Structure 1
Amino acid sequence: MDRKVTQQVTRATFDEVMVPNYAPSAIIPVRGEGSRVWDKEGKEYIDFAGGIAVTALGHSHPTLVNVMREQAGQLWHLANIMTNEPALRLAKKLTEKTFADRVFFANSGAEANEAAFKLARRYAFDHFGPEKHEIIAFNKSFHGRTLFTVSVGGQAKYKEGFEPTPGGIQHCDYNNIEQLKAIISDKTCAVVMEPIQGEGGIIPADKEFAQQVRELCDQYNALLVYDEVQSGVGRTGTFFAYEQLGVTPDVLTTAKALGNGFPVGAMLATEKAAKSLAFGTHGSTYGGNPMACAIAEAVIDIIDTPEVLAGVKERHDIFVAGLEAINEKHHVFKDIRGMGLLIGAEVIDSLAGKAGTFITAAAEEGLFVLVAGPNVLRLAPSLIITKEEITEGLTRLEKAIVKAVADAKAA
């Protein structure tokens, strides 16, 4: 039978058929290989965005393509009333490589966080009763787009118009232990934090702060939940970022890089905490499907190696040196910060609110970059991007910055 002719689409098609919650660029990528992407016109781009910290092994990684094809020829989906071999293999690897004893699989970071927040409340209910239900999170944090996760997230704009949102949630400033001490209590069931705030501006946790948060959670019998959706799976130069802080959480969530773009998320927990998600308390139709888990296992096998993790730290230094060199010439950044290959460059006050103009200018020069809020340029490339691509991409970035600054001054 003849295959149906592929329907032609353009950027205008988006405005005709999609809900307008996104505003994608005019570029329509059609092919990717490693850290390079080509659009419909054949223009080549270097990818410093990584699909928002997702394609940690780049595009069309041959090992992952082969694993996907092999699994696609076996099983795509199993109901969770069945035992699922790929899911069990992946869970075993995750528990062997982390603090965790138990794993719950979902399809996204938001779903993994939803499970973590439900677990925290259920754990407190089981052990201390219904009064111990309050969750503390941090201003500028981001934990997903479900109603519960935007409520825990510390950015009011994501809740606007969706009220009433779930209650029993408080916020304080990140890296401010005194504010946390002022609001934590015996009613607190969990403290939720990112080891490095992603959407909030690429802000790493102070090591002392992170350790004091752990101590407060122990003091008040609250679970410490780490959201490593963006920072996990090698992004910071260790398998998970918590390893660099001298802190062990009770619950951890991961997604993004875990599937290198195939939808998969996971919540990891200690056995003591995990017991509270007893039979029937939570679930997911697609979570932990064989396709996702087979791919995620291959991702872990490649990333969690001394060569790749050491390479992340080496590439971090190249990026930071390159950004500092650009800044010495053009004086556009007031701070360059981050961990591993999650790097933020905060623009100077005179460019406040205009970091987004760098994205447009960079695309014109053949480079994909991101922002983290209106003032921070964010880089989250493949963990195995070549040094030549870093150098070429930084050259393109410098050209884009020169153009964007000139346009800003002319406006």
Structure 2
Amino acid sequence: MQSQISRELFDEIILPVYSPAQFIPVRGFGSRVWDQNDQEYIDFAGGIAVNALGHCHPKLIKTLKEQSEKLWHVSNVFTNEPALMLAQKLIEHTFADRVFFANSGAEANEAAFKLARYYTTKKFHPYKTKIISFYQSFHGRTFFTVSVGGQAKYSDGFGPKPADIVHIPFNNLEAVKAVMDDHTCAVVLEPVQGEGGLTSATPEFLKGVRSLCDEYNALLIFDEVQCGMGRTGSLYTYQQYNIIPDILTSAKALGGGFPISAMLTTNEISEVMHAGVHGTTYGGNPLACAVGCEAFDIINSPEVLQGVEKRRAIFIGMLEEINEKFKVFREYRGKGLLLGAELQPTFYNRAHDFLTAATEFKVMILNAGPNVLRFTPSLIITEEEIKEGMTRFAKAVEKVVNA
């Protein structure tokens, strides 16, 4: 007899690497979610910036149903039409000439780091393998990507780490200069650090890093897994800086909720690769790419992209109203609807308390470290849903402050 499906069952049968909320979502539409007890929540978390078009977008459902009756999977032994169509869209609207599809941000970053080392060791010399990364960065959970990421708590305890990876302070050009040399393979960064507190790169910093990479024949890799695909108000965040990377990774919102990722690069860099050097079983599968095509077309529209800043302004306006009353926020971070609210020092290390209280008042939010609350809602969330959700969130803040 099947066990009752409950939150307690999670603690019994799932590997204990997560600590999910006490309710179980069972259905969603737009920016609203309902749990097993038919309680309604406003979703400001967006699946950690994945559900860029909310839940169960009608056009995505239609596309998925149509593709599900055609072709699901053929492997990389064959290509397929949806994969080629999505690759064309990405190339047409970015700097890229070549695309590699995978299934997650970590896989896209793994491919990017492998490509960078393969390229520089083939093109220049076999010791050009140093990767420069930044404290508080996050690039995935494979052993290579978690080692490149700048948070040791995620990579410690698993034995010897991949070598020749250097971590330095973010937005500090002098620190980059101090470690950059002829052995440098790549500089890897998020234009807006996602898990690291929603710190945005400064234009001066990115311009300087680009120049240093050019000087030392190193590649500039932008991890736009979280900040890409319309999240900050442009298709990709690099387009706001007028800085062109050599490699870019994209995932999360790329499939509107369906797992897919992509690594983008140029013809020159990709020329070192050949059949068998890298691969993936599911990457570029027809189901994911068909949904990705539809999500891409909706997100990459003036209506959606231009609406991001308008929605951010509404969020910040309502956060300011809450702050006037409760004095909990120090500053607002990030770009567009990758929005962070840093807590005042008196509330440091209590971000999770706010998350827990928010769920009690039926609103879903995130944190980005212990001191920053994170909001990554649907890019097309309605003004009504924002206001209703923030009204609920205000009650959660009041509970934490008065606890």
1:284 to 280, 286, 289: 280
> Is 1:182 aligned with 2:191?
no
> Is 1:369 aligned with 2:365?
yes
Task: Judge conservation of contact 2:137–2:149 (CA < 8 Å) in 1.
Answer: yes
1:64 to 50, 60, 67: 60
The letter of the residue matching 1:315 is: R
Quote the residue 1:40 is aligned against. 36
> Is 1:356 aligned with 2:356?
no
The letter of the residue matching 2:382 is: T
Quote the residue 2:148 is aligned against. 152
> Residues 43-87 of structure 1: CA distance to partner in whole angstroms, max 9, x if unpaired?
100000001110000000010011001100010001211121110
TM-score normalised to structure 1 length? 0.97
The letter of the residue matching 1:267 is: M
Query: Secondary structure at 1:204's aligned position in 2?
Result: coil
Distance 2:180 2:401 in 1: 44
Query: Secondary structure at 1:171's aligned position in 2?
Result: strand
Quote the residue 1:217 is aligned against. 213
Stretch moving more, 164-173 or 314-323: 314-323
The letter of the residue matching 2:183 is: K
Q: Shift in Å at residue 6 of structure 1?
A: 7.8
1:135 to 128, 131, 144: 131
Query: Secondary structure at 1:335's aligned position in 2?
Result: strand
2:18 to 18, 22, 41: 22
Q: How does 1:197-276 map to 2 (within 5 A)?
A: 197-276=193-272
Q: How does 1:102-117 map to 2 (within 5 A)?
A: 102-117=98-113
Q: Shift in Å at residue 163 of structure 1?
A: 2.2
Quote the residue 1:119 is aligned against. 115
Distance 1:51 1:172 in 2: 30
Q: Shift in Å at residue 277 of structure 1?
A: 2.4
> Is 1:303 aligned with 2:299?
yes
TM-score normalised to structure 2 length? 0.99
2:333 to 333, 337, 359: 337
In structure 2, runs of 5+ residues without a counterpart are: none
Quote the residue 1:82 is aligned against. 78
Query: Secondary structure at 2:402's aligned position in 1?
Result: helix
Query: Secondary structure at 1:297's aligned position in 2?
Result: helix
Distance 1:218 1:26 in 2: 50
Distance 1:205 1:328 in 2: 28
In structure 1, runs of 5+ residues without a counterpart are: none
Q: Shift in Å at residue 7 of structure 1?
A: 6.1
- How many pairs are equivalent? 403
Distance 1:81 1:285 in 2: 9
Quote the residue 1:97 is aligned against. 93
Distance 1:406 1:217 in 2: 51
- Identical-pair percentage: 59
> Residues 327-368 of structure 1: CA distance to partner in whole angstroms, max 9, x if unpaired?
121110111121010000110111110011111111111100
> Residues 145-176 of structure 1: CA distance to partner in whole angstroms, max 9, x if unpaired?
00000110000100111120100100110100
Task: Judge conservation of contact 2:144–2:162 (CA < 8 Å) in 1.
Answer: yes
Task: Judge conservation of contact 2:188–2:221 (CA < 8 Å) in 1.
Answer: yes
2:388 to 367, 372, 392: 392
